[in-house]
Chain A
């Protein structure tokens, strides 16, 4: 009895020491590893104002042409209200807004892909968009529950070469895979689209119907396929490092900021050049349209180097 007790105690003490040693070892390792990861983790920022001002008028004209956006908006009849809102508001600012649906609906116009599976639908939409791009070189994939300020998207990619592979948005990490979140919108360059369309043909690396028992969400499947084509996710940020792609609503972000940064709510909350928000109601979006495209304080100007005209047939911006 005594010997068992003492063995138990000995074991406990040794176990504790073992745990301490392991935890130090692990934190040390992850410490160095996280540094290495910082270097690998891509951050993408817009061009600086000074750089823009150095450009000639011809160069600016070239940039304006190159930075046009093809919007792929993935809708379903279930999301009809959001679809209508997107149709009536932000999608008008895309150079070519195209709605892709799972099944046709008499209420709104869209390209009917006749596909219920979300990943398969996304693949079809990407293939269609790539073939129909004309001379557009940037692609934005979103659900109708996302709201996007396309002018700020253009500002982010203004000086980036679309013949290079770009895959931009709000990045998250799942194990070893770094992917762009779907809810806050996905930006792809022409080259990234080309590589995607290529790798779609490879059923091993990029299967259309997943083989696993559980389905991997489309955003991760997309990231995996892109990874095989050597295209890596990059986090879109402004010059101060604030994220430009948000999967929350403006009011939600403000509430968070009120509890976390009560002395500097607005500065700490969200970027001035934010690109996306998500989960906003129809009336909140009308207020957002007014807030972005109309409401302003008189006498404060920005003299941006490029000009984007308001869309035709629209009165809420």
Chain B
């Protein structure tokens, strides 16, 4: 059979050669031309789509000579409102000396008054004596101290989650956590009033960002439904696209809380994960200060990741994320601010641990703080020219102008006069600062009013009446 096949093949070959001889001339010539054309195309140079510059070296030199870059930074006018900082002499505690004036502090986020606490300072001193100041290394390379491990355990236990991870800077916490999970192609639904750190985290993650109106669950549901219909068109892509909702417990820019129970319902309905940023609500809301999940009575495992900074209630520096080990452990290798940065100085970690101890031992300070917040919220209602923005139990409120006077610059100047009036009379306030060109949804200019547990009722009343006076004199 092989022989037969061989003969068959031979026979085909013979036929081919015969056909070749018998073909008409023009046929052969045409085929020859085509073959030559193919060879030419194969060996000719490929053309780039952008035309090569045919500039001579002399012309290039001229172009290089002529090019003038912009100055590295544009000049800043001397009286730019953000250039002249308030100088605080001494510690920024309850009684603060700002610009050589003694005032009562209504501007530092020292909600539980732990900045000045002797026990906290002593714990930090002990740590300083044992470890020195710096850690001289990132967590991976001999920068992990037993204090860090202890703080992580304590935070996890306090928040009743499986694991916690510490960062050495509050801003870097959420800005590193979001890009660790959400990558290009994933979808994030974020509230319009999210703080700048969240915005930077989202920008670093390169995911698709969908903004929904502040605290508007209807708008969020609309976006989720739109996404669902998109998914049905392309189910294979939908199966690998991760979805997240990023909200804050207590919004820094508006002073109100997010409707967490509705968010949980939406989470399970549309299969989206929730990242909760609790910088302001940690140590403020809830019966024991565990934040907004305790405030609403929600199972903490329903939230995939809680991130907070320790610079507000805990009066230290740094931040932490807590949640289930499944989620948190990933950040130990892919959280940029964790892996590539030096760890938190041990004295600050020890201060945070002591602050946590105090929080656990005195759960009544949260109620006291809430009482004071409610008091000043009532007292600041009805000021002519200024409106109070924020929930009654929020310790960080905003006073915005009722009517803008046309331009943001003038609004800022007007508010500055109110702030200066108050500072001259002994109440330290500050305007809320924003980067006007960088924010996605710039909040209107406002004065920040911060309530701490150390302020007495007389001081609260004094502050309220002083602000009323200032508003009267400046705005009318």
Task: Note whether A and B form a binding pair.
Answer: no
Interface set of B (CB-CB < 8 Å, partner A): none
Interface set of A (CB-CB < 8 Å, partner B): none
